[in-house]
Every structure is written in C-alpha cells, then in structure tokens.
C-alpha cells in the first residue's frame, strides 16, 4: 500500500496547559532544561561594577511615563512589571537571543523512532468447516445445528494477535521562539498471518456448511425450496478424502503531516495545537482452499477437485486532522499526552474471486469460475466511499538523557469507523445450482454481495528514542 496518513482527538488539554503557561509577575522566564548556565560573576567583579556604575537617578525619573506601552520582545508580549528585554534574554542564558519565551524541550529540529507492540480488532468469520460423528446421514452430516455437529474452523477473532511494528517521525521549528513548526510521521504494523486446517483421508466426516435454497432432483435438475441448512463434503467415507485450509492476513499502515502552533508555554511545559492531513491503510485477505480426491466406490473415483474462495478488502482513509499535544517536564523526566481526531473519507475496495479445478485420472484439467462462497453471483470488484472518523490518543513517559537525546515509553490507542473487512461481505447463502460444474442455475442466485461495514481499532505499547538539535 502507499504511504499516507492517520489520527484522533479525544480530550481537551487546554486548561492544564494554560495553567502551566503562567509565569508570575516580576520573575524571569527560565531557560529550557539542560541549556548551559552562564557562570556567576566573581565577588571582586561585582564590587568593581558597583564602583564604576553612575549614581542612581532620582526616583521620580525612574517612574514609567503615564500611558507607556508594555515592553515587548520579538514574538513575545511581556507582562507589566517584567524586566526589560535584555534582562530577560540574559536570564535565559543568551544575551544574543531576541526571544524571551523559549519553552523547550531543547532543539530546533527533531527526529525519532519507535518500536510498536500492538494488537488489533480481529476478523470475525462464519463457521467455515464442521465435523460429524461416523455414521451420520449424508443429508444432515455437518449441518449447523445438526446431530453431533462440531465446529472445526470457526475463526471469529482472527488476526487479533500481538505483533511488532515501527513508527518514524520528525519535525522542525520555523521560528526561533519555537512557536510555529511542521512535523511528519509514518508507521507500519507487521503483517498478521493466521492459518487453520481440517481434513481426513475419508475416515472422518468433514464438511463446509452453508444455507441452500434449492434441492437437486434425481435427474440432475433443481427445484426452488425454502432455505435450509446444507453442506459441501470435504471428507466422507467411501466418497471423498480431502483437506480444507484457511488463511487470514491483515496489515496496517499510516502516516501524516501537521502544522504545529504553540498555544501557551512555560519553562516546565507547553501546549500545542496540531492541524494537518492523515492517512490510514488497512488490508485484509481471507483465502479458503480445498483439495479433494474421489474415493473408490464413488461416482468420481480418482478425480481431484481443487476449490478456492478468496475475499480481499482494502480501506484507504484520507482526512484532515486536528488535535492537541501537551508536555510537562519534571527535572530530567517528562510526560506527554497527544490527542487527535481525523475526519474524512474511507475508500473501501472489495475483491471477491473463486475457482474450481477438476483433474481427471488421466491428468486432463477443467477450470470453472466459482468455488463455494464465491460464485458468479458475487464475484467481482466493488468500491464505496464512506465518511469516517479516526481518533487517536498517545501517552508517554520518558527521560531527557542529554540536551540532544531523550528516551521514553508509552501507550497508543487508534480507532477507525466505517471500515469493510472480509467477514462483512461473506454471504453464507449458496444456491447449489451454481456450484461447478453448473448446468442451468435455478431460483434466486446466492451468494450476493452486500456492502456492509464495521469499526476497527489498534492499540498497544511502544518504546522510543528521539534526537533533538
């Protein structure tokens, strides 16, 4: 998938940040933590400065003129009673800076990387394979709700396993006061690939259940009937031996780019507002394969049947993101909260395909369109655009190792509404007159494609390393 962009706003941090931004009147605004301090002047130097200083002016002369404007420094407003700009700059340890309100953390640009260990909402699928006790009649063997039926493959939470990933990010302050900046990020969550299988050499009963709406007559024709539970054989004594293999894959990527505007800051913390663009890409694939062989005594001894159903969904979210980022420092330690919400359009793509390949004992092959749950009535490519909301929240706790290096750990939660996944588009209703080799399909044709959606989330822990300069 292409790199694009993600996110989510769940909390307002303005009140906390505003409290941290206040500096009492008459006090200097301190320099950022870890900035080098100016050496204190020696006592003899101080005495010499006092001796050389001119006599103080009359108290009346030192009073500010009535209506005088509040002193300012480039990019910053000083409250009444605060020292002059030169004194503020000196208090920050930089007599050449024109900014009195640099609030850190140190560094004009930054770049970082994180190791992610996340889990996601799993794929929910219907029962894909069943079993039945030996001796069960063919017409009820393995049917859902039938006598002795057991679920052999029922992956209702596939791809929810914990897996590793990474995130990289970077940014740059556009002004000396660190009030305006830009940032970007990209993340990838490793592919989840889970497999399930069932089968037998013909000793045991293994089936694939579905709901049928036709019955086969003795002359090979079909008659429409009320829906009932039916099965396709995978293994059955004196009829078939075979296996069914199910593979479910899931992959998540995302990224974004934001403009950063500082709302308020103090020597110990800052609150920034974020505005930008976000992308999320979620891809899921379900593949069901059967490999069957006709047994001696059946109508097709020595024939091989290879059946495949495949459902693939893609979700591409594009949207505008807004949010808040807050950081509070306690000496060498810091805590951060980042909360965003992205509003936009999710472009979903669904690909359904299926096939049946029949190989006779002489090796001749015939290929048909359609497997079991993928038939000509639902095979195809379908797209849809849906409004979607993507909130995200991140918490971190770390330590400033040096002026340029910080390490941290934390937690992230990401949510996405209105996504389409394979389990949303599988129709377990099958008109068996469509199953290859088909002749004259009868009645209403199933399965059908219906575009349904659900929600999705991913969350977990992370460990990061950040360099600032």
Q: What number of helices (H) and strands (E) belong to the chain?
A: 5, 18
Residue 218: pLDDT band (50, 70, 90) is: confident
Residue 253: pLDDT band (50, 70, 90) is: very high
H or E segment and range at residue 51: helix 43-52
Question: How does pLDDT run across 361-394, given as a tens digit for each residue?
Answer: 999 999 999 999 999 999 999 999 999 999 999 9
Distance of CA 268 to the CA centre of its chain: 32
Residue 98: pLDDT band (50, 70, 90) is: very low
Pairwise CA distance, residues 420 & 286, whole Å: 13
Cβ atoms within 10 Å, residue 92: 21
Pairwise CA distance, residues 287 & 289, whole Å: 7
Question: Dihedral angle at the C-alpha atoms of 295, 297, 298, 304, nearest 10 degrees?
Answer: 30
Handedness of CA 329, 330, 334, 339 (dihedral sign): negative
Look at residues 14, 17, 23, 19 and name the one whose alpha carbon lies nearest to residue 76. Answer: 23
Asked whether the predicted pLDDT for residue 429 surpasses 80, the reply is: yes
Asked whether the predicted pLDDT for residue 70 surpasses 50, the reply is: no
Q: Please tell me the predicted confidence (pLDDT) of residue 24.
A: 38
As a whole number, mean pLDDT of residues 74-94 equals 37
Pairwise CA distance, residues 338 & 324, whole Å: 6
Look at residues 448, 295, 272 and name the one whose alpha carbon lies nearest to residue 376. Answer: 448
Query: CB-based burial of residue 452 (10 Å sphere; 0-12 exposed, 13-18 middle, 19+ buried)?
Result: exposed
- Count of residues in the chain: 469
Residue 52: pLDDT band (50, 70, 90) is: low
DSSP state of 329: E
> DSSP string of 386-428?
EEEEEEEEEEEEEEE-SSSEEEEEEEEEEEEEEE--HHHH---
Query: 93 phi and psi, to 5 degrees?
Result: 80, 20
130 touches 152 (CB < 8 A): yes
303 touches 293 (CB < 8 A): yes
418 touches 199 (CB < 8 A): no
Residue 105: pLDDT band (50, 70, 90) is: confident
User: Strand, coil or helix: what is 46?
Assistant: helix
Q: Please tell me the predicted confidence (pLDDT) of residue 232.
A: 97
Asked whether the predicted pLDDT for residue 249 surpasses 50, the reply is: yes
Q: Structural domain boundaries of the chain?
A: 14-24+101-468
**Of residues 410 and 78, which shows the higher confidence score?**
410
377 touches 438 (CB < 8 A): no
- The CATH homologous superfamily to which domain 14-24+101-468 belongs is OPCA outer membrane adhesin/invasin (2.40.128.100)
Residue 102: pLDDT band (50, 70, 90) is: low
Q: Please tell me the predicted confidence (pLDDT) of residue 104.
A: 73
Asked whether the predicted pLDDT for residue 49 surpasses 80, the reply is: no
User: Strand, coil or helix: what is 216?
Assistant: strand
Look at residues 415, 329, 238, 241 and name the one whose alpha carbon lies nearest to residue 35. Answer: 329
Residue 439: pLDDT band (50, 70, 90) is: confident
| pTM (two decimals) | 0.79
Average pLDDT for the chain: 84
Strand bridging mode 454-468 / 205-216? unpaired
Burial 125-153 (b: 16+ CB within 10 A, else e): bbbbbbbbeeebeeebbbbbebeebeebb
Handedness of CA 366, 367, 372, 377 (dihedral sign): negative
> 28-32, 118-122, 244-248, 379-383: which has the minimum mean pLDDT?
28-32
Question: How does pLDDT run across 326-356, given as a tens digit for each residue?
Answer: 999 998 999 999 999 999 999 999 999 999 9
Q: Which two tokens stand for residue 284?
A: 């899921």
163 touches 458 (CB < 8 A): no
Q: Please tell me the predicted confidence (pLDDT) of residue 460.
A: 98
Residue 245: pLDDT band (50, 70, 90) is: very high
Q: Please tell me the predicted confidence (pLDDT) of residue 247.
A: 98
Residue 101: pLDDT band (50, 70, 90) is: low
Beta bridge partners of residue 428, listed in sequence order: none
DSSP state of 144: T
As a whole number, mean pLDDT of residues 278-305 equals 96
Look at residues 40, 45, 36, 41 and name the one whose alpha carbon lies nearest to residue 92. Answer: 36
Look at residues 407, 422, 311, 294 and name the one whose alpha carbon lies nearest to residue 358. Answer: 294
Asked whether the predicted pLDDT for residue 219 surpasses 70, the reply is: yes
Q: Which two tokens stand for residue 252?
A: 């998540």
């Amino acid at each position: 998938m292409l790199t694009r962009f993600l996110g989510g706003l769940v909390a307002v941090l303005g009140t906390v940040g505003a409290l941290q931004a206040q500096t009492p009147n008459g006090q200097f605004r301190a320099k950022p933590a870890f900035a080098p301090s100016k050496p204190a002047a020696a006592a003899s130097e101080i005495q010499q400065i006092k001796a050389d200083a001119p006599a103080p002016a009359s108290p009346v002369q030192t009073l500010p003129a009535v209506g005088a404007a509040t002193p300012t420094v480039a990019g910053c407003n000083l409250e009444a009673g605060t020292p002059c700009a030169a004194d503020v700059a000196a208090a920050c340890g930089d007599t050449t800076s024109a900014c009195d309100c640099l609030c850190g953390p140190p560094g004009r640009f930054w770049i970082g990387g994180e190791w992610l260990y996340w889990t996601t909402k799993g794929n929910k699928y219907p029962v894909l394979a069943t079993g039945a006790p030996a001796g069960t009649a063919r017409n009820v063997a393995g049917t859902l709700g039938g006598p002795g039926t057991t679920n052999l493959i029922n992956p209702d939470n596939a791809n929810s396993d914990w897996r590793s990933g990474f995130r990289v990010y970077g940014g740059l302050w556009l002004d000396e006061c660190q009030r305006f900046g830009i940032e970007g990020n990209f993340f990838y969550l490793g592919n989840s690939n889970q497999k399930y299988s069932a089968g037998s050499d013909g000793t045991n009963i293994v089936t694939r259940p579905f709901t049928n709406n036709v019955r086969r007559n003795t002359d090979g024709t079909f008659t429409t009937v009320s829906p009932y539970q039916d099965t396709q054989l995978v293994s059955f004594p004196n009829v078939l031996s075979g296996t069914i293999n199910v593979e479910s894959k899931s992959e998540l990527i995302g990224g974004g780019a934001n403009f950063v505007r500082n709302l308020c800051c103090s020597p110990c913390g800052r609150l920034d507002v974020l505005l930008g663009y976000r992308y999320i890409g979620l891809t899921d694939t379900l593949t069901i394969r059967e490999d069957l062989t006709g047994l001696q005594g059946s109508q097709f001894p020595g024939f091989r049947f290879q059946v495949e159903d495949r459902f693939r969904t893609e979700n591409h979210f594009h949207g505008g993101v807004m949010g808040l980022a807050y950081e509070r420092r306690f000496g060498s330690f810091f805590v951060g909260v980042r909360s965003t919400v992205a509003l936009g359009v999710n472009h979903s793509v669904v690909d359904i395909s299926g096939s049946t390949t029949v190989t006779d004992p002489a090796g001749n092959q015939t290929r048909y369109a359609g497997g079991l749950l993928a038939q000509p009535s639902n095979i195809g490519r379908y797209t849809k655009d849906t409004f979607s909301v993507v909130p995200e929240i991140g918490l971190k706790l770390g330590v400033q190792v040096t002026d340029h290096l910080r390490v941290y750990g934390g937690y992230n939660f990401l949510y996405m509404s209105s996504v389409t996944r394979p389990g949303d588009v599988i129709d377990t209703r099958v008109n068996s007159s469509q199953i290859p080799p088909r002749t004259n399909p009868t009645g209403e044709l199933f399965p059908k494609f219906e575009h349904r959606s659900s929600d999705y989330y991913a969350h977990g822990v992370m460990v990061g390393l950040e360099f600032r300069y």
